Amino acid sequence: MVPTPSVNAGQKRLFRRTRWRLAAWYASILGVISSVGGVAIYRIAVYAHQITLEAELESAALVLHETLEPLLEVPGQLHPDATHFFPSACLAQDDCLQLTPVELQAIELIARDKYYIRLLAPSHKLLAVVGKQPKALQITKSDGKWQYLTDDDGVHYRQISLDLYLPDAQQWGSIQVGRSLQDFETYVANLQWMILIGVPGIVLLLAIASRYLADQAMQPIYQSYGQIQQFTADAAHELRTPLSAIRATVESMLMTPSLDEEEVRTNLRTIRRQDLQLSQLVADLLMLCRMDQQLSMFPKLPKEGDEVDLKDLAQAVTEEFAALALASALHLSTQLQTTSPLKVAGDSGQLHRLISNLVANALRYTPAEGKVTLILDRRADHALVHVQDTGIGIAPEELPRIFDRFYRVKNHQTIEVKGSGLGLSIAQAIAQTHRGKIQVQSELDKGSTFTVWLPMTDS
Ligand code: ADP
């Protein structure tokens, strides 16, 4: 693995710009949502307040209307009994501003000092007034029975007018119930201020939060960018070694004036060896890319494919590596710890590669006279393949990195062993595409056990 390539100034600028752009997008979208939300809340609150206010006025007017109508006899004249409901009723020209406690619940509203009740003759002549009497009321807007009015002091009023009829359907006059909109307008003004200050405040907080969110969103991109850079640098480094060897061999052949046949053959064998190494490396890289794609496209889908019997597979791998084990003076064997079949769905070639990589590693990192054992077991609905060796082991601080692409442990025991650092990455990618995993336990100078977990088809 080559040292992690550093991010240059241009790339840093690009990341910074992207982060700010992302933050600006977040802030604008959230800002628009909260502004629209603020306006909507304002409108709903004003509307609800207005509806309540009008409902109060209307119910008071209706109660008075229902109560008064039976007492009316002569158009435009108030029966003496009506004074029961209008204790302070008086003719328009009298002083009517004094408020009196009243008996009926509806008239109780008047005591709140914001309602007034007026009785009018059919000619619109004012007959009686109860409650606060605004001076010089002018209708500013009329909509059927509802009116907006303004008095001398510029105070706004909302008023409801209902016609009063005699039993013979002759119009007696009308009743008007109104109230000042001062407290309503104060409420609306306060609400406006709250929204005017609150929304920019919220937008500011959202902008700060957006910057943080953009940072968080960029982290994985930043990391995978680093990984791609590292991967590219490592791949280039690994490819360069055999390519340089081939070039050196060819150049030395060209520079030698006359080569005998044996020398040519030796050089060609060197080129073929390097070419094989290159082809293997390219095949490994392609395989990793394909599996990455598979994992990103179908991370949860079961691996489709043949049914593979892990017992047969382990047996085949053991037989293939028997000669190599013998040559390295190692004892290679298989142990079955379950009698039940161990069948998994998947690609037999890939699963073969997975077990082979682990066995090949165990043989390479175990000194002569050591033991390498393939143990097959089952745990609930998973088949387990343990590849156990009595080799050099792996230091605890190296364990988290050994599955990284191109990562190789570098110490005096591994320096002699050739490898690209892709074996375990490939094994892990194969396990993952088969919905499985690989675990490792290791102790320096005692040995390692790699355990593959694969879901079984009969589970
Ligand atoms: P390599 O081509 O270097 O073997 P791998 O990805 O297969 O690459 O392994 C990564 C590293 O993990 C190796 O360099 C080696 O140090 C360590 N390793 C893997 N398997 C074993 C093992 N059975 N015993 C000790 N070390 C191992």
46 vs 69: CA distance, rounded Å:
34
- 409 ligand 1 Cβ < 6 A: yes
- 366 ligand 1 Cβ < 6 A: no
Taking CA atoms only, the protein residue closest to ligand 1 atom 25 is 393
- 402 ligand 1 Cβ < 6 A: yes
pLDDT band for position 79 (50/70/90)? low
pLDDT band for position 88 (50/70/90)? very low
pLDDT of 112 reads 56
**Average pLDDT of span 62-78:** 79
**Average pLDDT of span 118-129:** 84
**What is the tens place of the pLDDT at every residue in 22-45?**
889 988 998 899 899 999 999 999
Strands 115-120 and 171-180 come out as antiparallel
Cα 98 from chain centroid (whole Å): 65
**Average pLDDT of span 296-314:** 76
Does the predicted TM-score (pTM) go above 0.85?
Answer: no
Taking CA atoms only, the protein residue closest to ligand 1 atom 16 is 409
Q: How far away, in angstroms, is 455 Cα from ligand 1 center?
A: 25
C-beta of residue 117 within 8 angstroms of C-beta of residue 131: yes
On the question of pLDDT at 80 being above 80, the answer is no
Q: How far away, in angstroms, is 278 Cα from ligand 1 center?
A: 20
426 vs 428: CA distance, rounded Å:
5
pLDDT of 352 reads 95
pLDDT of 93 reads 40
- 122 ligand 1 Cβ < 6 A: no
The candidate with the shortest Cα–Cα distance to 351, out of 321, 301, 390, 316, is 316
C-beta of residue 405 within 8 angstroms of C-beta of residue 421: yes
pLDDT of 100 reads 41
- Best residue among 277, 401, 424 to mutate for probing ligand 1's pocket (most ligand atoms within 8 Å of CB) is 424
**Average pLDDT of span 340-360:** 93
Taking the alpha carbons at both ends of the chain, their separation in whole angstroms is 40
The 10 Å CB-count burial string (b at 16+, else e) for 304-330 is ebeebebbebbeebbeebeeebeebeb
Q: How far away, in angstroms, is 409 Cα from ligand 1 center?
A: 7
The candidate with the shortest Cα–Cα distance to 47, out of 149, 188, 165, is 188
- 386 ligand 1 Cβ < 6 A: no
- 408 ligand 1 Cβ < 6 A: yes
* DSSP-derived secondary structure letter, 421: S
Residue 67, H or E segment: helix 9-68
Cα 292 from chain centroid (whole Å): 23
Taking CA atoms only, the protein residue closest to ligand 1 atom 3 is 421
Helix (H, G, I), strand (E, B) or coil at 173: strand
What residue segments make up the domains of the chain, in order of their start?
43-187, 307-455
- Best residue among 277, 365, 372, 446 to mutate for probing ligand 1's pocket (most ligand atoms within 8 Å of CB) is 365
- 414 ligand 1 Cβ < 6 A: yes
- Best residue among 407, 408, 411 to mutate for probing ligand 1's pocket (most ligand atoms within 8 Å of CB) is 408
- Which of 437 and 260 is assigned the larger pLDDT? 437
- What lies within 8 Å, CB to CB, of 277 at 6+ separation is 242
On the question of pLDDT at 374 being above 90, the answer is yes
Q: How far away, in angstroms, is 387 Cα from ligand 1 center?
A: 13
Q: Give 238: exposed, middle or buried? Use CB within 10 Å, 0-12, 13-18, 19+.
A: buried
Percent over 90 (pLDDT), the chain = 48
- 362 ligand 1 Cβ < 6 A: yes
At residue 156, what are phi and psi to the nearest 5 degrees? Answer: -90, 150
* DSSP-derived secondary structure letter, 456: B
**307-455 homologous superfamily:** Histidine kinase-like ATPase, C-terminal domain (3.30.565.10)
On the question of pLDDT at 105 being above 70, the answer is no
- Which of 304 and 295 is assigned the larger pLDDT? 295
C-beta of residue 61 within 8 angstroms of C-beta of residue 51: no
**What is the tens place of the pLDDT at every residue in 208-218?**
998 898 889 88
On the question of pLDDT at 226 being above 90, the answer is no
pLDDT of 273 reads 93
Least confident piece of the model among 86-90, 178-182, 326-330, 441-445: 86-90
pLDDT of 90 reads 43
Q: How far away, in angstroms, is 401 Cα from ligand 1 center?
A: 10
On the question of pLDDT at 87 being above 60, the answer is no
- 75 ligand 1 Cβ < 6 A: no
